[in-house]
A and B are shown apart, each in its own frame.
Chain A
Amino acid sequence: GIQVEQSPPDLILQEGANSTLRCNFSDSVNNLQWFHQNPWGQLINLFYIPSGTKQNGRLSATTVATERYSLLYISSSQTTDSGVYFCAVRGGNKLTFGGGTRVLVKP
């Protein structure tokens, strides 16, 4: 099956800092999504981004499907950005998740 790897596994930021999270995947995929899991476990859809670049406020994402990676950018981080960020890719009928990047933003 498709392998999905995320890096770094953990990230500690000072409030206001910028950061980049990476997602590598092993095969061609139908779609790619980035999620934020809050402390209560809820998965919030950030981006549906099989290719190209999208922006939503302080967050943006870029997927280069031909090179099998995606990047999530967090700018001017806030404490509410803390949580786990997951990349998930769909190959066929299955959505496969990476191991996540745990982000802690300190005030």
Chain B
Amino acid sequence: DGGITQSPKYLFRKEGQNVTLSCEQNLNHDAMYWYRQDPGQGLRLIYYSQIVNDFQKGDIAEGYSVSREKKESFPLTVTSAQKNPTAFYLCASLGDGAHNYGYTFGSGTRLTVV
């Protein structure tokens, strides 16, 4: 079955550390997205990528970085510059074909600073 895999499900980070969240899709989607969700809130866009080797900042990109070296993969790095990284992170991809439209989300990574 096609889908999006995020790992790990839970991640603990010490202050001052960089951590990388993985997102892999086998849906053959061109566009991929990273969202952040704080408790009781909606989702806010961090970064997105329309094609390989290209990405754009979303609404809250400060303190985060991404890469898109392969179509299937869109990892997110939470850097030490992100002052409040504890949140739930969701990765998504977008299909625009005749039978493959709309956004599909992974199951998320819960990041906690300890």
Contact = CB atoms under 8 A, between A and B. Distances in A.
A31 B31 CA distance: 15
B102 A42 contact: no
A60 to B, nearest CB: 17
A91 B67 CA distance: 23
Range of interface residues on chain B? Answer: 20 to 34
B107 A42 contact: yes
A97 B42 contact: yes
Contacts of B31: 93
A28 to B, nearest CB: 18
Contacts of B35: 97
A43 B45 contact: no
A34 to B, nearest CB: 10
Contact of A31 (B102, B104, B105): B102
Contacts of A86: 42-43
B56 interface: yes
B102 A45 contact: yes
Contacts of B45: 94-96
A103 interface: no
A100 B105 contact: no
Given A41-B88, A93-B56, A99 B41 contact: yes
B33 A45 contact: no
Interface string B38-73: 000111110010100000101100000000000000
Given A41-B107, A95-B94, 18 more contacts: A31-B102, A33-B102, A33-B103, A41-B37, A41-B110, A43-B90, A45-B105, A48-B101, A48-B102, A93-B56, A94-B58, A95-B92, A95-B103, A96-B45, A97-B35, A97-B42, A97-B43, A99-B42
Interface of B: 31, 33, 35, 37, 41-45, 48, 50, 56, 58-59, 88, 90, 92, 94, 101-105, 107-108, 110
Q: Which 6 A-B pairs have the closest CB atoms?
A: A48-B102, A43-B105, A97-B42, A97-B43, A41-B108, A99-B42
